[in-house]
Structure 1
Amino acid sequence: MKKLSNHLKRRAFCVLSAFALLAVSGPAALAASGYPDRPITIVVGYPAGGSVDLNGRVVADTLARKIGAKVVVENLGGAGGTIGAQKVIRAKPDGYTLLVGSLNEIVIASLVNPAVKYNGVTDLQAIGLIGDQPLVLAASKKTDIRNTADLVKVATSGKSENYSYGSSGVGTSLHMAGEMVNAETRAKFLHVPYRGVAPLVTDLTSGRLPLGVFALSSALPQIQSGQITAIGVTSAKRSAFASDIPALAENPALKAMDISVWFGLFGPKDMPEAVVKKLQTSLQQVLADPQFQEKYRATGSNVMREQPDLAAFFQAEHNKFKKLAETAHIATGRP
């Protein structure tokens, strides 16, 4: 009986210790212990077929295999990706609702649109960057701009206000790239916002629009077919996917040009630390997967295997685009 009594005491001690551990670690430990045990939803704040959607779908396919759960993509387009971002910000922070987001809705939107009430850097939990893609400045065949030297000549001639450039909308990274050309050369190229890439391409190929800024993957078919002329990519260096296109920064007058659209995986803030770590580990496995890399590079983007210090990276991006938005007079004054 004495042995039985000691055994029961030990069992009671173990049970009490377990409850004590749960009391200290709280609900977060309970939520993370079996994660994931049901499907994960990746929200994409754009319609199907765009660059952010392609990122979401390629990541979802491989993430499902790495993390051991079904991963579905939900397209929630509207307001430049901000509707999708807001859904994830408001979601339960349990790791089952995530966002594949881009530079536009994470950093730029809150700087240029007073209707955007969230801060993508502080109101979302960054899990990691997926990749990036440069933009490209292209010209109509009917304009006299054929290269960066021609562009700078027009920009510094005092006649730049006679030229316009198109983008996919006010406050987008494409718009910002055009305004950075203006800022660096003190030019006055007029911005013309379009609703999507298709009408922009139509006007550029027809000659109604002199210049246009695109995601590189969106412009390559027209560039390669000779319908439009590539002036230069907006990243600091040439793209490995189109190494024959110079970087605008190769011209001394545009040496500060360095804008790329990046894509990342995010979740609501206040997710359990164990869930965040599981997602970060799984994302790194995705980025290292050869099949993923092949599919991802086919979209014209670079895989970001080496992750920067995310806090420093987002702060630098915020500072860069805040300054640019103020220079272009499209800032809201948000700190």
Structure 2
Amino acid sequence: MTTLSTGLRRLLAVCLLGLATEAVCAAGYPDRAIRLLVGFPPGGGADHVARQVAQHLSQATGVPVVVDNKPGANGTIAASEVARMPADGYTLLLGVSASHSISPVLMPKLPYDPLRDFTPITQVGYTPLVLVVNPTTPVKTVEEFVRYVNASSEPVMYGSAGTGNITHMAAELFVQASGATKLRHVPYKGSSQVITDLIGGHVAAYFDTLPSALPFIQSRQLRALAVTSRERAAAASDIPTLREAGMAGYEAITWFGVLAPAKLAPDVADRIQGALRDSMGTPEARQALRVRGIEPVLDTPAKFRAELEADIERWRTVTRKAGITLD
């Protein structure tokens, strides 16, 4: 016991002096509470995922994980704060596509770089969007919708929850992939307003998140044409994908993932990822996400980084072609 205690004291001294590698000094992680920031208010989809992450990470590590809501600016306020924090594993971010894939390509003055200033740990899950139309519109498939748009003598209006929002970006990607060039954007200040006007026939289409649109689809107030994910959604397996409609490579999702400040020790990142993979990989935990329309992922840090790089490039290409920018 004396030898072990002496060795631990020496290791601690070396770590404090900065003479050991981060991986060695991280051997005792975690030994205190972890803070998980989420850039959206309580009650929404991102907050739900954050609280699932916090619950399971706490159970797996034995330390408290506190969710800290920092809403505003599509999640970039929370992301900015985490980017400035020490890379010690005790401050994490529940990042989303808005904060890490879309805002960085739309806002050149954003105070962080989505790759350089963060350590991706794991994508937790994603929510597809769904192309919905008013049921009085004389179309039942994507192909019919494209023909309907292109045959119109006037521009066909689609709504979004705001310029630069994923509901806008998904539609712009659709225009570029389908050639439905007569579609015109009408930005709103939120999803509920778009839904109201879509049901009322004031706009023709909307790319809504699946959890938001599903009740209106099930009540036949809206007609679903396709989902925007690579595969059909488990929550609505009867709705085809846009890829099935011939748009090879089309994908537009809202993803949720855990990130840390840049230069987090690799073994700490692996510790967090492993804890979440094991605790959130159970059938019960996966179902808790699926009931909210979120498809679980739980990938490795390297896979998450590769997906993030691809998503950033996807939206950079779309925004350049469409000429979309935000100050």
Q: TM-score, normalised by structure 1?
A: 0.87
The answer for the alignment partner of 2:101 in structure 1 is 107
The answer for the alignment partner of 1:225 in structure 2 is 219
Cα pair 1:59 1:286 within 8 Å, conserved:
no
Of residues 282-291 and 213-222 in structure 1, the stretch that sits farther from structure 2 once superposed is 282-291
State the shift of 1:306 in Å: 4.7
Matched AA of 1:327: K
Residue 209, structure 1, aligned to residue 227, structure 2: no
Relative distance call for 1:68 and 1:184 in structure 2 (3 A) is same
Relative distance call for 1:272 and 1:142 in structure 2 (3 A) is same
Residue 156, structure 1, aligned to residue 150, structure 2: yes
Matched AA of 2:288: K
Relative distance call for 1:212 and 1:311 in structure 2 (3 A) is same
Of residues 132-141 and 280-289 in structure 1, the stretch that sits farther from structure 2 once superposed is 280-289
Aligned residues: 322
The answer for the alignment partner of 1:287 in structure 2 is 280
Matched AA of 1:168: A
Match 2:20 to one of 4, 25, 40: 25
Relative distance call for 1:16 and 1:37 in structure 2 (3 A) is closer
Hey, what's the Cα distance between the residues in 2 that align with 1:226 and 1:204? 13
Residue 128, structure 1, aligned to residue 122, structure 2: yes
Hey, what's the Cα distance between the residues in 2 that align with 1:27 and 1:234? 41
Cα pair 1:45 1:84 within 8 Å, conserved:
yes
The answer for the alignment partner of 2:59 in structure 1 is 65
Hey, what's the Cα distance between the residues in 1 that align with 2:123 and 2:130? 21
Cα pair 2:80 2:111 within 8 Å, conserved:
no
Cα pair 2:122 2:298 within 8 Å, conserved:
no
The answer for the alignment partner of 1:4 in structure 2 is none
Query: Residue by residue, what CA displacement relative to the aligned partner does 1:33-91 show, whole Å, maximum 9, x if unpaired?
Result: 43222221111111122221121111111111011111121111111111111111112
Hey, what's the Cα distance between the residues in 1 that align with 2:310 and 2:164? 18
Residue 45, structure 1, aligned to residue 39, structure 2: yes
State the shift of 1:105 in Å: 0.7
Q: Which runs of 5+ in 2 are unaligned?
A: none
Cα pair 2:106 2:164 within 8 Å, conserved:
yes
State the shift of 1:19 in Å: 7.3
Hey, what's the Cα distance between the residues in 2 that align with 1:325 and 1:296? 30
Hey, what's the Cα distance between the residues in 2 that align with 1:73 and 1:17? 35
Cα pair 2:124 2:299 within 8 Å, conserved:
no
Residue 185, structure 1, aligned to residue 185, structure 2: no
Cα pair 1:110 1:117 within 8 Å, conserved:
no
Aligned-pair RMSD on alpha carbons? 2.7
Match 1:263 to one of 251, 256, 265: 256
Matched AA of 1:111: V
- Structure showing greater radius of gyration is 1
State the shift of 1:14 in Å: 6.2
Match 2:245 to one of 242, 251, 254: 251
Of residues 172-181 and 283-292 in structure 1, the stretch that sits farther from structure 2 once superposed is 283-292
Cα pair 2:150 2:182 within 8 Å, conserved:
no
Query: Residue by residue, what CA displacement relative to the aligned partner does 1:130-184 show, whole Å, maximum 9, x if unpaired?
Result: 111211011123433332122110233364x621112222222221110011112
Q: Which runs of 5+ in 1 are unaligned?
A: 1-7
Hey, what's the Cα distance between the residues in 1 that align with 2:77 and 2:240? 36
State the shift of 1:265 in Å: 0.4
Matched AA of 2:208: F
Of residues 112-121 and 170-179 in structure 1, the stretch that sits farther from structure 2 once superposed is 112-121
Hey, what's the Cα distance between the residues in 2 that align with 1:319 and 1:242? 28
State the shift of 1:29 in Å: 4.5
Hey, what's the Cα distance between the residues in 2 that align with 1:269 and 1:129? 16
Cα pair 1:166 1:191 within 8 Å, conserved:
yes
State the shift of 1:106 in Å: 0.8
Q: Taking every aligned residue pair, what percent have the same amino acid on both sides? A: 33
State the shift of 1:129 in Å: 0.9
Matched AA of 2:201: G
Matched AA of 2:258: L
The answer for the alignment partner of 1:175 in structure 2 is 168
Matched AA of 1:119: D
Q: TM-score, normalised by structure 2?
A: 0.89
Residue 200, structure 1, aligned to residue 205, structure 2: no
The answer for the alignment partner of 1:166 in structure 2 is 159
State the shift of 1:211 in Å: 0.9
Matched AA of 2:146: V
Of residues 99-108 and 34-43 in structure 1, the stretch that sits farther from structure 2 once superposed is 34-43
